[in-house]
Structure 1
Amino acid sequence: MIPQLATVRYRRPDGRPLRLYIPILPVLLVLAPLLLPAGLVACVIFRVDPVGALRGAGRLLWALPGTRFEIEDGRTAFLVSVR
């Protein structure tokens, strides 16, 4: 299943929390006109098969649901959760 929502939680050093909800599909649709040409240029520069790169990016995107990424350093905390 393709991920639907990314939740970003950030606790500032002063203790105030900030929570952002990022819908994955609309963001990808808005950024697609920029990402596709940039990806093709990168494939040409690094001599990578564009179809293989696209397949790998799709597999990575498909594996994201359920991923949690968390960093804490002192009073600052950063959490990314993909649903």
Structure 2
Amino acid sequence: MIPQLVTVRYRRSDGRRRRLYVPVLPVGLVLSPLLLLAVPAGLVACLATRVSPVGALRGTGQLLWALPGTRFEIEYGRTAVLVSVR
């Protein structure tokens, strides 16, 4: 299943908390023109490093498929960030 929502929660050093919801599909649609540049660049990078483009595409797909349910937290001093992918 492709991720649908990314939730970013962070606590600033002054103690205020914020929550940001990022829907993946609309952001992907807005950024899709950049995909037209990224695909040829990825193909050139694969050929330059002698990596199979099909294998690289399959690995990217597997990574995206595994993202839902992922959570990671970063805490530095009084600032904390939690990212959750659903």
Greater shift in the superposed pair: 31-40 or 2-11: 31-40
The answer for the alignment partner of 1:64 in structure 2 is 67
Aligned residue-pair number: 83
1:74 maps to 2:38: no
**What is the aligned-residue RMSD (CA, Å)?**
1.6
Secondary structure at the aligned position of 1:80 is classed as strand
TM-score (structure 2 length as normaliser): 0.81
Q: Distance in 2 between matches of 1:59 and 1:51?
A: 12
Structure 1 gaps of 5+ residues are none
What TM-score, normalized to structure 1?
A: 0.84
Structure 2 unpaired stretches of 5+ = none
Map of 1:12-23 to 2, 5 A cutoff? 12-23=12-23
Distance in 2 of aligned mates of 1:36 and 1:29: 15
1:44 aligned counterpart, secondary structure? helix
Secondary structure at the aligned position of 1:20 is classed as strand
